[in-house]
Structure 1
Protein backbone atom coordinates (compact mmCIF):
# COMPACT_ATOMS: atom_id res chain seq x y z
CA UNK A 1 0.00 0.00 0.00
CA UNK A 2 3.08 2.22 0.19
CA UNK A 3 2.47 3.78 -3.24
CA UNK A 4 -1.26 3.09 -3.62
CA UNK A 5 -1.99 6.77 -4.22
CA UNK A 6 1.26 7.71 -5.92
CA UNK A 7 0.87 11.11 -7.59
CA UNK A 8 -2.83 11.42 -6.72
CA UNK A 9 -4.42 14.47 -5.15
CA UNK A 10 -7.09 13.72 -2.55
CA UNK A 11 -9.57 16.07 -0.90
CA UNK A 12 -10.44 14.79 2.57
CA UNK A 13 -13.28 16.32 4.61
CA UNK A 14 -13.65 16.02 8.35
CA UNK A 15 -9.86 15.95 8.46
CA UNK A 16 -9.39 17.49 11.92
CA UNK A 17 -11.14 14.69 13.83
CA UNK A 18 -9.53 11.50 15.06
CA UNK A 19 -10.46 9.44 12.01
CA UNK A 20 -9.61 12.28 9.61
CA UNK A 21 -6.18 12.95 11.07
CA UNK A 22 -5.24 9.31 10.69
CA UNK A 23 -6.56 9.19 7.12
CA UNK A 24 -4.66 12.34 6.11
CA UNK A 25 -1.37 10.91 7.32
CA UNK A 26 -1.98 7.57 5.60
CA UNK A 27 -2.89 9.26 2.30
CA UNK A 28 0.50 10.95 2.21
CA UNK A 29 2.23 7.77 3.36
CA UNK A 30 0.54 6.04 0.41
CA UNK A 31 2.16 8.51 -1.98
CA UNK A 32 -0.69 10.99 -2.32
CA UNK A 33 -1.14 14.67 -1.66
CA UNK A 34 -4.01 15.74 0.55
CA UNK A 35 -6.18 18.83 0.87
CA UNK A 36 -7.62 18.61 4.36
CA UNK A 37 -10.87 20.41 5.20
CA UNK A 38 -12.79 20.82 8.44
CA UNK A 39 -14.77 23.37 10.43
CA UNK A 40 -12.22 22.86 13.20
CA UNK A 41 -9.17 25.05 12.50
CA UNK A 42 -7.04 22.57 14.42
CA UNK A 43 -6.58 20.71 11.15
CA UNK A 44 -4.08 23.37 10.07
CA UNK A 45 -1.61 22.15 12.66
CA UNK A 46 -2.01 18.56 11.49
CA UNK A 47 -1.31 19.58 7.88
CA UNK A 48 1.80 21.43 9.00
CA UNK A 49 3.01 18.35 10.85
CA UNK A 50 2.45 16.14 7.80
CA UNK A 51 4.52 18.40 5.57
CA UNK A 52 4.44 19.89 2.05
CA UNK A 53 2.18 17.15 0.64
CA UNK A 54 -0.68 18.34 2.85
CA UNK A 55 -2.55 21.61 3.19
CA UNK A 56 -5.60 22.69 5.14
CA UNK A 57 -8.69 24.72 4.22
CA UNK A 58 -11.12 25.76 6.96
CA UNK A 59 -14.44 24.70 5.47
CA UNK A 60 -17.99 23.67 6.34
CA UNK A 61 -19.23 21.02 3.88
CA UNK A 62 -22.68 22.62 3.85
CA UNK A 63 -21.17 25.77 2.29
CA UNK A 64 -21.24 25.45 -1.50
CA UNK A 65 -19.13 28.56 -2.05
CA UNK A 66 -16.58 27.12 0.33
CA UNK A 67 -16.37 24.02 -1.86
CA UNK A 68 -15.32 26.21 -4.77
CA UNK A 69 -12.43 27.46 -2.66
CA UNK A 70 -11.45 23.92 -1.64
CA UNK A 71 -11.29 22.68 -5.22
CA UNK A 72 -9.40 25.80 -6.33
CA UNK A 73 -6.86 25.20 -3.57
CA UNK A 74 -6.31 21.63 -4.73
CA UNK A 75 -5.79 22.76 -8.32
CA UNK A 76 -3.54 25.68 -7.43
CA UNK A 77 -1.44 23.79 -4.90
CA UNK A 78 -1.22 20.33 -6.44
CA UNK A 79 -2.61 20.65 -9.99
CA UNK A 80 -5.47 18.14 -9.91
CA UNK A 81 -8.34 16.54 -8.03
CA UNK A 82 -8.10 12.78 -8.37
CA UNK A 83 -10.12 11.64 -5.39
CA UNK A 84 -12.58 12.91 -2.80
CA UNK A 85 -13.12 11.19 0.52
CA UNK A 86 -16.32 12.49 2.13
CA UNK A 87 -15.45 11.80 5.74
CA UNK A 88 -17.16 14.77 7.45
CA UNK A 89 -20.24 13.88 9.48
CA UNK A 90 -22.11 14.68 12.65
CA UNK A 91 -23.61 12.19 15.09
CA UNK A 92 -25.76 12.40 18.17
CA UNK A 93 -28.18 10.56 20.38
CA UNK A 94 -31.87 10.69 19.44
CA UNK A 95 -34.90 8.44 19.60
CA UNK A 96 -37.80 8.28 17.16
CA UNK A 97 -40.02 9.76 19.85
CA UNK A 98 -37.79 12.73 20.70
CA UNK A 99 -35.98 13.54 17.42
CA UNK A 100 -36.98 17.01 16.24
CA UNK A 101 -37.32 18.13 12.64
CA UNK A 102 -34.54 20.67 13.15
CA UNK A 103 -32.12 18.04 14.42
CA UNK A 104 -33.02 15.73 11.54
CA UNK A 105 -32.37 18.55 9.07
CA UNK A 106 -29.01 19.08 10.75
CA UNK A 107 -27.97 15.48 10.15
CA UNK A 108 -29.06 15.63 6.53
CA UNK A 109 -27.40 19.00 5.93
CA UNK A 110 -23.97 17.65 6.86
CA UNK A 111 -24.13 13.90 6.26
CA UNK A 112 -26.06 13.91 2.97
CA UNK A 113 -26.22 17.38 1.43
CA UNK A 114 -22.63 18.11 2.46
CA UNK A 115 -21.57 15.00 0.59
CA UNK A 116 -23.68 15.96 -2.44
CA UNK A 117 -22.05 19.40 -2.42
CA UNK A 118 -18.63 17.77 -2.52
CA UNK A 119 -19.52 15.45 -5.38
CA UNK A 120 -20.87 18.33 -7.43
CA UNK A 121 -17.85 20.53 -6.66
CA UNK A 122 -15.19 18.04 -7.79
CA UNK A 123 -16.94 16.82 -10.94
CA UNK A 124 -15.66 19.48 -13.37
CA UNK A 125 -12.03 18.88 -12.37
CA UNK A 126 -12.42 15.11 -12.52
CA UNK A 127 -14.09 15.23 -15.92
CA UNK A 128 -11.34 17.44 -17.25
CA UNK A 129 -8.67 15.01 -16.11
CA UNK A 130 -10.50 11.95 -17.43
CA UNK A 131 -12.03 10.53 -14.28
CA UNK A 132 -11.60 10.12 -10.55
CA UNK A 133 -12.77 8.38 -7.43
CA UNK A 134 -15.22 9.44 -4.73
CA UNK A 135 -15.40 7.54 -1.45
CA UNK A 136 -18.25 8.27 0.94
CA UNK A 137 -17.92 7.25 4.57
CA UNK A 138 -21.18 5.98 6.04
CA UNK A 139 -21.68 3.56 8.95
CA UNK A 140 -23.15 0.15 9.62
CA UNK A 141 -25.99 2.26 11.03
CA UNK A 142 -27.03 2.27 7.36
CA UNK A 143 -27.31 -1.53 7.39
CA UNK A 144 -29.24 -2.13 10.59
CA UNK A 145 -31.40 -0.38 13.13
CA UNK A 146 -29.44 1.63 15.69
CA UNK A 147 -31.91 2.63 18.43
CA UNK A 148 -30.81 5.83 20.11
CA UNK A 149 -28.95 7.06 17.02
CA UNK A 150 -31.96 7.38 14.74
CA UNK A 151 -31.16 10.76 13.14
CA UNK A 152 -27.59 9.77 12.38
CA UNK A 153 -28.61 6.32 11.18
CA UNK A 154 -31.36 7.53 8.85
CA UNK A 155 -29.00 10.07 7.27
CA UNK A 156 -26.49 7.30 6.60
CA UNK A 157 -29.21 5.19 4.95
CA UNK A 158 -29.81 8.17 2.67
CA UNK A 159 -26.08 8.36 1.94
CA UNK A 160 -26.22 4.79 0.64
CA UNK A 161 -28.86 5.87 -1.86
CA UNK A 162 -26.89 8.92 -2.92
CA UNK A 163 -23.77 6.79 -3.44
CA UNK A 164 -25.51 4.23 -5.63
CA UNK A 165 -27.23 6.84 -7.78
CA UNK A 166 -24.02 8.82 -8.20
CA UNK A 167 -22.12 5.68 -9.17
CA UNK A 168 -24.66 4.86 -11.87
CA UNK A 169 -24.85 8.39 -13.24
CA UNK A 170 -21.15 9.21 -13.20
CA UNK A 171 -19.74 5.96 -14.54
CA UNK A 172 -19.79 7.41 -18.07
CA UNK A 173 -17.41 10.13 -16.85
CA UNK A 174 -15.08 7.46 -15.42
CA UNK A 175 -15.81 8.73 -11.94
CA UNK A 176 -16.16 5.86 -9.48
CA UNK A 177 -18.31 6.33 -6.36
CA UNK A 178 -18.14 3.86 -3.49
CA UNK A 179 -19.17 3.55 0.14
CA UNK A 180 -17.27 2.49 3.27
CA UNK A 181 -19.39 1.49 6.26
CA UNK A 182 -17.39 1.42 9.50
CA UNK A 183 -18.60 -0.43 12.55
CA UNK A 184 -17.45 0.43 16.05
CA UNK A 185 -14.17 2.38 15.95
CA UNK A 186 -11.85 3.28 18.82
CA UNK A 187 -12.41 7.00 18.12
CA UNK A 188 -15.90 8.30 18.85
CA UNK A 189 -17.77 11.04 16.96
CA UNK A 190 -20.24 11.41 19.80
CA UNK A 191 -19.19 13.77 22.60
CA UNK A 192 -21.00 11.68 25.21
CA UNK A 193 -19.60 8.49 23.72
CA UNK A 194 -19.78 5.13 25.48
CA UNK A 195 -17.77 4.55 28.62
CA UNK A 196 -14.89 2.02 28.43
CA UNK A 197 -17.14 -0.67 29.91
CA UNK A 198 -19.72 -0.01 27.18
CA UNK A 199 -17.03 -0.30 24.52
CA UNK A 200 -16.09 -3.68 25.94
CA UNK A 201 -19.73 -4.72 25.67
CA UNK A 202 -19.77 -3.59 22.02
CA UNK A 203 -16.54 -5.47 21.30
CA UNK A 204 -18.10 -8.61 22.74
CA UNK A 205 -20.75 -8.46 19.99
CA UNK A 206 -18.16 -8.29 17.21
CA UNK A 207 -17.05 -11.66 15.80
CA UNK A 208 -13.42 -10.47 15.65
CA UNK A 209 -13.73 -9.56 19.33
CA UNK A 210 -12.62 -5.93 19.20
CA UNK A 211 -13.50 -2.51 17.82
CA UNK A 212 -11.64 -1.16 14.78
CA UNK A 213 -8.66 1.14 14.82
CA UNK A 214 -9.05 4.29 12.68
CA UNK A 215 -6.19 3.11 10.47
CA UNK A 216 -8.29 0.13 9.40
CA UNK A 217 -11.09 2.38 8.15
CA UNK A 218 -8.64 4.73 6.44
CA UNK A 219 -6.82 1.91 4.62
CA UNK A 220 -10.12 0.70 3.19
CA UNK A 221 -11.01 4.19 1.96
CA UNK A 222 -7.56 4.56 0.39
CA UNK A 223 -7.98 1.25 -1.42
CA UNK A 224 -11.32 2.38 -2.83
CA UNK A 225 -9.77 5.68 -3.93
CA UNK A 226 -6.80 4.00 -5.60
CA UNK A 227 -6.36 2.43 -9.02
CA UNK A 228 -6.32 -0.97 -7.29
CA UNK A 229 -10.13 -0.59 -7.23
CA UNK A 230 -10.36 0.60 -10.84
CA UNK A 231 -13.31 -1.70 -11.66
CA UNK A 232 -15.18 -1.04 -8.43
CA UNK A 233 -18.05 1.44 -8.38
CA UNK A 234 -21.38 1.49 -6.57
CA UNK A 235 -19.92 -0.91 -4.03
CA UNK A 236 -20.27 -0.98 -0.26
CA UNK A 237 -17.64 -2.35 2.08
CA UNK A 238 -18.55 -2.93 5.73
CA UNK A 239 -15.46 -2.61 7.94
CA UNK A 240 -17.06 -3.98 11.07
CA UNK A 241 -15.22 -7.10 12.16
CA UNK A 242 -18.12 -9.24 10.97
CA UNK A 243 -20.73 -7.48 13.12
CA UNK A 244 -23.28 -7.41 10.28
CA UNK A 245 -22.35 -10.81 8.84
Structure 2
Protein backbone atom coordinates (compact mmCIF):
# COMPACT_ATOMS: atom_id res chain seq x y z
CA UNK A 1 0.00 0.00 0.00
CA UNK A 2 1.38 3.46 -0.82
CA UNK A 3 2.61 5.58 2.07
CA UNK A 4 -0.04 8.21 1.31
CA UNK A 5 -3.42 6.56 1.23
CA UNK A 6 -6.31 7.63 -0.97
CA UNK A 7 -9.45 8.17 1.12
CA UNK A 8 -12.92 8.88 -0.26
CA UNK A 9 -15.52 10.41 2.05
CA UNK A 10 -19.04 10.54 0.66
CA UNK A 11 -21.08 13.60 1.57
CA UNK A 12 -17.97 15.11 3.10
CA UNK A 13 -18.59 18.77 2.36
CA UNK A 14 -20.03 19.92 5.68
CA UNK A 15 -20.85 18.84 9.21
CA UNK A 16 -19.72 15.37 10.23
CA UNK A 17 -18.43 14.56 6.76
CA UNK A 18 -16.20 17.61 6.67
CA UNK A 19 -14.86 16.71 10.12
CA UNK A 20 -14.02 13.22 8.88
CA UNK A 21 -12.32 14.58 5.76
CA UNK A 22 -10.23 17.00 7.84
CA UNK A 23 -9.18 14.26 10.24
CA UNK A 24 -7.85 12.07 7.43
CA UNK A 25 -6.16 15.03 5.74
CA UNK A 26 -4.39 15.89 8.99
CA UNK A 27 -2.83 12.41 9.01
CA UNK A 28 -1.30 13.11 5.58
CA UNK A 29 -3.76 11.07 3.53
CA UNK A 30 -4.97 12.16 0.12
CA UNK A 31 -8.67 12.87 0.64
CA UNK A 32 -11.48 13.21 -1.90
CA UNK A 33 -14.99 14.20 -0.84
CA UNK A 34 -17.90 13.59 -3.17
CA UNK A 35 -21.36 15.12 -3.03
CA UNK A 36 -23.86 16.86 -5.26
CA UNK A 37 -22.77 20.33 -4.16
CA UNK A 38 -19.29 21.66 -3.36
CA UNK A 39 -18.35 22.77 0.17
CA UNK A 40 -19.35 26.31 1.06
CA UNK A 41 -15.85 26.89 2.43
CA UNK A 42 -12.66 25.23 1.16
CA UNK A 43 -11.38 22.25 3.11
CA UNK A 44 -7.60 22.38 3.40
CA UNK A 45 -5.92 19.40 1.80
CA UNK A 46 -9.20 17.97 0.51
CA UNK A 47 -10.28 17.58 -3.12
CA UNK A 48 -13.95 17.82 -4.14
CA UNK A 49 -15.59 15.64 -6.80
CA UNK A 50 -19.24 16.23 -7.82
CA UNK A 51 -21.29 13.04 -7.54
CA UNK A 52 -24.92 12.08 -6.97
CA UNK A 53 -24.66 8.93 -4.88
CA UNK A 54 -28.20 7.96 -5.84
CA UNK A 55 -27.09 7.54 -9.48
CA UNK A 56 -25.52 4.05 -9.68
CA UNK A 57 -23.94 4.48 -13.16
CA UNK A 58 -22.33 7.75 -12.03
CA UNK A 59 -21.08 6.08 -8.83
CA UNK A 60 -19.54 3.21 -10.78
CA UNK A 61 -17.91 5.65 -13.21
CA UNK A 62 -16.46 7.71 -10.35
CA UNK A 63 -14.85 4.78 -8.55
CA UNK A 64 -13.80 3.21 -11.83
CA UNK A 65 -11.86 6.35 -12.63
CA UNK A 66 -9.82 6.35 -9.41
CA UNK A 67 -6.19 5.23 -9.73
CA UNK A 68 -6.49 3.34 -6.46
CA UNK A 69 -8.50 3.40 -3.23
CA UNK A 70 -7.46 2.57 0.32
CA UNK A 71 -10.35 3.80 2.48
CA UNK A 72 -14.03 4.47 1.79
CA UNK A 73 -16.06 6.33 4.39
CA UNK A 74 -19.78 6.06 3.66
CA UNK A 75 -20.95 9.21 5.39
CA UNK A 76 -23.59 10.68 3.04
CA UNK A 77 -27.08 10.56 4.48
CA UNK A 78 -29.57 12.31 6.67
CA UNK A 79 -33.30 12.94 6.79
CA UNK A 80 -35.78 15.72 7.56
CA UNK A 81 -38.06 15.38 10.57
CA UNK A 82 -41.24 13.78 9.26
CA UNK A 83 -43.73 11.63 11.16
CA UNK A 84 -44.76 8.46 9.36
CA UNK A 85 -48.31 9.79 9.10
CA UNK A 86 -48.74 13.56 9.20
CA UNK A 87 -52.18 15.07 9.61
CA UNK A 88 -51.47 18.29 7.73
CA UNK A 89 -49.73 16.92 4.64
CA UNK A 90 -50.09 14.03 2.27
CA UNK A 91 -47.47 11.47 3.31
CA UNK A 92 -46.58 8.58 1.04
CA UNK A 93 -44.24 5.63 1.25
CA UNK A 94 -42.13 6.95 -1.60
CA UNK A 95 -40.87 9.82 0.55
CA UNK A 96 -39.66 7.42 3.20
CA UNK A 97 -38.23 5.08 0.56
CA UNK A 98 -36.04 7.94 -0.70
CA UNK A 99 -34.62 8.33 2.82
CA UNK A 100 -33.82 4.63 2.91
CA UNK A 101 -32.28 4.89 -0.55
CA UNK A 102 -29.87 7.63 0.50
CA UNK A 103 -28.93 6.13 3.86
CA UNK A 104 -28.74 2.43 2.98
CA UNK A 105 -28.83 1.75 -0.76
CA UNK A 106 -26.34 4.50 -1.63
CA UNK A 107 -23.65 3.17 0.77
CA UNK A 108 -24.20 -0.32 -0.69
CA UNK A 109 -23.85 1.08 -4.22
CA UNK A 110 -20.64 2.91 -3.35
CA UNK A 111 -19.15 -0.08 -1.54
CA UNK A 112 -19.81 -2.42 -4.45
CA UNK A 113 -18.34 0.09 -6.90
CA UNK A 114 -15.25 0.51 -4.73
CA UNK A 115 -14.73 -3.17 -3.92
CA UNK A 116 -12.15 -4.11 -6.58
CA UNK A 117 -9.83 -1.23 -5.71
CA UNK A 118 -10.24 -1.75 -1.98
CA UNK A 119 -9.47 -5.44 -2.39
CA UNK A 120 -6.25 -4.71 -4.26
CA UNK A 121 -5.20 -2.29 -1.50
CA UNK A 122 -6.42 -4.57 1.31
CA UNK A 123 -8.25 -1.46 2.42
CA UNK A 124 -11.23 -0.73 4.61
CA UNK A 125 -14.73 0.70 4.67
CA UNK A 126 -16.13 2.80 7.51
CA UNK A 127 -19.91 3.12 7.61
CA UNK A 128 -21.30 6.14 9.46
CA UNK A 129 -24.22 4.76 11.39
CA UNK A 130 -26.39 6.35 14.05
CA UNK A 131 -27.88 5.69 17.46
CA UNK A 132 -31.18 6.19 15.62
CA UNK A 133 -30.65 2.68 14.28
CA UNK A 134 -30.41 1.20 17.77
CA UNK A 135 -33.48 2.74 19.42
CA UNK A 136 -36.91 4.08 18.43
CA UNK A 137 -36.58 7.05 16.10
CA UNK A 138 -39.93 8.89 16.03
CA UNK A 139 -39.98 11.56 13.36
CA UNK A 140 -37.12 9.90 11.50
CA UNK A 141 -38.34 6.31 11.43
CA UNK A 142 -37.16 5.55 7.90
CA UNK A 143 -33.74 7.00 8.72
CA UNK A 144 -33.47 4.87 11.85
CA UNK A 145 -34.50 1.76 9.92
CA UNK A 146 -31.90 2.50 7.24
CA UNK A 147 -29.14 2.98 9.83
CA UNK A 148 -30.08 -0.29 11.50
CA UNK A 149 -29.84 -1.97 8.13
CA UNK A 150 -26.51 -0.28 7.42
CA UNK A 151 -24.93 -1.76 10.54
CA UNK A 152 -26.18 -5.22 9.62
CA UNK A 153 -24.98 -4.75 6.04
CA UNK A 154 -21.51 -3.85 7.32
CA UNK A 155 -21.35 -7.04 9.40
CA UNK A 156 -22.28 -9.16 6.40
CA UNK A 157 -19.79 -7.36 4.17
CA UNK A 158 -17.08 -7.89 6.76
CA UNK A 159 -17.61 -11.65 6.60
CA UNK A 160 -18.01 -11.91 2.83
CA UNK A 161 -15.04 -9.67 2.01
CA UNK A 162 -12.58 -10.89 4.64
CA UNK A 163 -9.64 -11.02 4.72
CA UNK A 164 -9.20 -8.53 1.87
CA UNK A 165 -11.42 -5.64 3.01
CA UNK A 166 -12.26 -4.67 6.57
CA UNK A 167 -15.72 -3.18 7.15
CA UNK A 168 -16.77 -1.43 10.37
CA UNK A 169 -19.45 0.99 11.56
CA UNK A 170 -19.32 4.10 13.70
CA UNK A 171 -22.58 4.36 15.64
CA UNK A 172 -22.75 8.12 16.09
CA UNK A 173 -24.80 10.02 18.63
CA UNK A 174 -25.77 13.69 18.60
CA UNK A 175 -23.25 15.97 16.90
CA UNK A 176 -22.99 19.73 17.08
CA UNK A 177 -22.81 21.07 13.52
CA UNK A 178 -23.89 24.15 11.60
CA UNK A 179 -27.37 22.57 11.35
CA UNK A 180 -27.82 21.76 15.04
CA UNK A 181 -30.31 24.57 15.49
CA UNK A 182 -32.70 22.84 13.06
CA UNK A 183 -32.80 19.77 15.30
CA UNK A 184 -32.47 21.19 18.81
CA UNK A 185 -33.42 24.87 18.54
CA UNK A 186 -31.11 27.75 19.44
CA UNK A 187 -28.18 27.76 21.83
CA UNK A 188 -30.46 27.13 24.82
CA UNK A 189 -31.84 24.03 23.12
CA UNK A 190 -28.38 22.74 22.29
CA UNK A 191 -27.26 23.24 25.89
CA UNK A 192 -30.36 21.52 27.25
CA UNK A 193 -29.85 18.53 24.97
CA UNK A 194 -26.15 18.42 25.90
CA UNK A 195 -27.09 17.93 29.53
CA UNK A 196 -28.80 14.64 28.63
CA UNK A 197 -25.47 13.18 27.44
CA UNK A 198 -23.33 11.56 30.17
CA UNK A 199 -20.18 13.37 28.96
CA UNK A 200 -22.09 16.65 29.18
CA UNK A 201 -21.75 17.81 25.59
CA UNK A 202 -22.65 16.95 22.03
CA UNK A 203 -19.94 15.50 19.86
CA UNK A 204 -18.15 17.77 17.40
CA UNK A 205 -17.31 16.54 13.89
CA UNK A 206 -13.65 15.96 14.73
CA UNK A 207 -14.68 13.43 17.40
CA UNK A 208 -16.25 11.31 14.68
CA UNK A 209 -13.34 11.98 12.33
CA UNK A 210 -10.74 10.70 14.78
CA UNK A 211 -12.77 7.54 15.39
CA UNK A 212 -12.99 6.95 11.63
CA UNK A 213 -9.23 7.42 11.28
CA UNK A 214 -8.71 4.83 14.01
CA UNK A 215 -10.94 2.21 12.38
CA UNK A 216 -9.16 2.70 9.06
CA UNK A 217 -5.68 2.51 10.62
CA UNK A 218 -3.25 -0.33 11.23
CA UNK A 219 -4.08 0.03 14.93
CA UNK A 220 -7.46 -1.54 14.05
CA UNK A 221 -5.98 -4.22 11.77
CA UNK A 222 -7.80 -7.01 13.62
CA UNK A 223 -11.12 -5.17 13.86
CA UNK A 224 -13.79 -5.93 11.27
CA UNK A 225 -17.55 -6.34 11.49
CA UNK A 226 -17.53 -4.14 14.59
CA UNK A 227 -19.76 -1.26 15.64
CA UNK A 228 -17.98 1.44 17.65
CA UNK A 229 -20.24 3.67 19.75
CA UNK A 230 -19.35 7.36 19.48
CA UNK A 231 -22.14 8.85 21.56
CA UNK A 232 -20.68 10.30 24.74
CA UNK A 233 -22.12 7.53 26.89
CA UNK A 234 -25.53 7.43 25.24
CA UNK A 235 -28.69 8.58 26.97
CA UNK A 236 -29.53 8.49 30.65
CA UNK A 237 -32.36 5.95 31.06
CA UNK A 238 -35.63 7.79 31.62
CA UNK A 239 -36.73 5.39 34.37
CA UNK A 240 -33.95 6.68 36.63
CA UNK A 241 -35.58 10.10 36.69
CA UNK A 242 -39.08 8.66 37.05
CA UNK A 243 -38.28 6.25 39.88
CA UNK A 244 -39.38 7.24 43.39
CA UNK A 245 -36.97 4.91 45.22
CA UNK A 246 -34.09 6.60 47.04
CA UNK A 247 -31.16 4.93 45.29
CA UNK A 248 -28.80 5.91 48.13
CA UNK A 249 -30.66 3.93 50.81
TM-score normalised by L of structure 1: 0.86
Deviations 1:31-59 (A, max 9, x none): 2111110111237x62xx524xx322100
1:231 alignment partner in structure 2:
222
Alignment partners' CA distance in 2, 1:199 and 1:83:
33
1:22 alignment partner in structure 2:
19
Q: Could you say if the C-alpha distance between residues 154 and 190 of structure 1 is closer, same or farther in structure 2, counting changes exceeding 3 Å?
A: farther
Q: Whose radius of gyration is greater, 1 or 2?
A: 2
Any idea what SS the aligned residue of 1:34 has?
Answer: strand
Task: Structure 2 unaligned segments of length 5 or more: list them.
Answer: 237-249
Deviations 1:101-146 (A, max 9, x none): 11211111111010001110111112233x1100000111111112
Q: Which has the higher helix share?
A: 1
Alignment partners' CA distance in 2, 1:224 and 1:50:
22
Alignment partners' CA distance in 1, 2:178 and 2:58:
26
Q: 2:44 aligns with which of 50, 53, 65?
A: 50
Q: Which moved more, 1:141-150 or 1:8-17?
A: 141-150
Q: 1:103 aligns with which of 91, 95, 102?
A: 95
Q: Could you say if the C-alpha distance between residues 226 and 236 of structure 1 is closer, same or farther in structure 2, counting changes exceeding 3 Å?
A: same
User: Is 1:91–1:190's contact at 8 Å kept on the other side of the alignment?
Assistant: no
Q: Could you say if the C-alpha distance between residues 122 and 32 of structure 1 is closer, same or farther in structure 2, counting changes exceeding 3 Å?
A: same
Q: 1:181 aligns with which of 162, 168, 171?
A: 171
1:8 alignment partner in structure 2:
5
Alignment partners' CA distance in 2, 1:128 and 1:64:
22
Q: Could you say if the C-alpha distance between residues 151 and 59 of structure 1 is closer, same or farther in structure 2, counting changes exceeding 3 Å?
A: same
Aligned length: 230
User: Is 1:167–1:176's contact at 8 Å kept on the other side of the alignment?
Assistant: yes
Deviations 1:155-205 (A, max 9, x none): 111111111111111114x20000001111101667832212222222111
User: Is 2:18–2:205's contact at 8 Å kept on the other side of the alignment?
Assistant: no
Aligned Cα RMSD in Å? Answer: 2.1
